[in-house]
Amino acid sequence: MYTTEKAYDYCEGVIQQGSKTFYKAFSLLPKADRQAVNAIYTFCRCLDDTVDESSNPKESLTAFLSEFERFRSGERIEQPLWLALRDVFDRYEMEEMPFLELAEGMRWDITKSRYRTLEETERYSYLVASTVGLMLLPILAPGRKDLKEGAIQLGIAMQLTNILRDVGEDARRNRIYLPGELLERYGVSEESVLRGEPTGDFSGLWEAIALRAEGLYDLASTTFPAYPSESRKSLRAAALLYRGILDAVRLNRYDVFTKRAYVSNLQKIKLLTKI
């Protein structure tokens, strides 16, 4: 049987393995807040894996959401994720809607594999990433609902960064998140993306979306001074490290098909010295 502390240890292991960038950024938080962030990340990771790692994602998603409904009703579920998340809900003023909207984003991944417009891609980005920012907001800035718009902007920027980094990986799953309108504008065919040999001006297409992401990072950063000092440092670290992925892709000469862009430990140290 897990104690709450052991449940949090489990969640820390999940974030350590799943996202070194997030783990590094939020390690700057006080312990109680750091544990809460780890629990939120674990919920998101488990929900994502429910869809991506299952042979029957619809049934798996339904089963996961059934457990979440039991959690929402107040039932004690003897699993580390739910035990840790219960403590988070007890300690912070959490809202349930972002958790449900994230699940809607997972449904999109089950039913959609193409996006027509940048607005549609950004709506998907809201569902799968901005929702995470809204989950974290009561932890990072208690009582500051006025910071929601900045959290939404940062989430979309981060997800666009993911999309730009993972074009090849997504294509191998027959998913293209790059908007069809932009593919046509830059002469990049879907078939060439799926082959990993893009036609047309792929770097121009990539930079058009990167420019949008960087603009959103800039907008979101204007809200950072309103966060408590400890949270502000973690948020700035997360934004800097994630934004650094875009420059890593540029250093790889836009090869997002055979190389995975990442921010090196040395570069992370250089970026974090800016905080």
Residue ranges covered by each domain of the chain = 4-272
221 has a pLDDT exceeding 90: yes
Average pLDDT over residues 46-62: 89
Summarised one tens digit per residue, pLDDT across range 161-184 is 999 999 999 999 999 999 999 999
d(CA 242, CA 219): 15
Residue 261: phi, psi to the nearest 5?
-75, 135
The pLDDT assigned to 8 comes to 94
91-95, 142-146, 217-221, 261-265: which has the minimum mean pLDDT? Answer: 261-265
d(CA 211, CA 118): 12
The pLDDT assigned to 28 comes to 81
d(CA 80, CA 86): 10
46-50, 104-108, 186-190: which has the minimum mean pLDDT? Answer: 46-50
> Could you tell me where the DSSP H helices lie in 92-224?
97-111, 118-125, 131-140, 148-165, 167-171, 180-185, 190-195, 202-221
The pLDDT assigned to 183 comes to 98
CA dihedral 153, 157, 159, 165 (to 10 degrees): 180
249 has a pLDDT exceeding 60: yes
Domain 4-272: which topology? Farnesyl Diphosphate Synthase (1.10.600)
Average pLDDT over residues 66-92: 94
Please name which of 199, 204, 173, 172 lies closest in space to residue 188, comparing C-alpha atoms. 199
| pTM listed for this prediction | 0.92
269 has a pLDDT exceeding 70: no
Check: CB of residue 41 under 8 Å from CB of residue 15. Answer: yes
Average pLDDT over residues 90-99: 95
The pLDDT assigned to 273 comes to 64
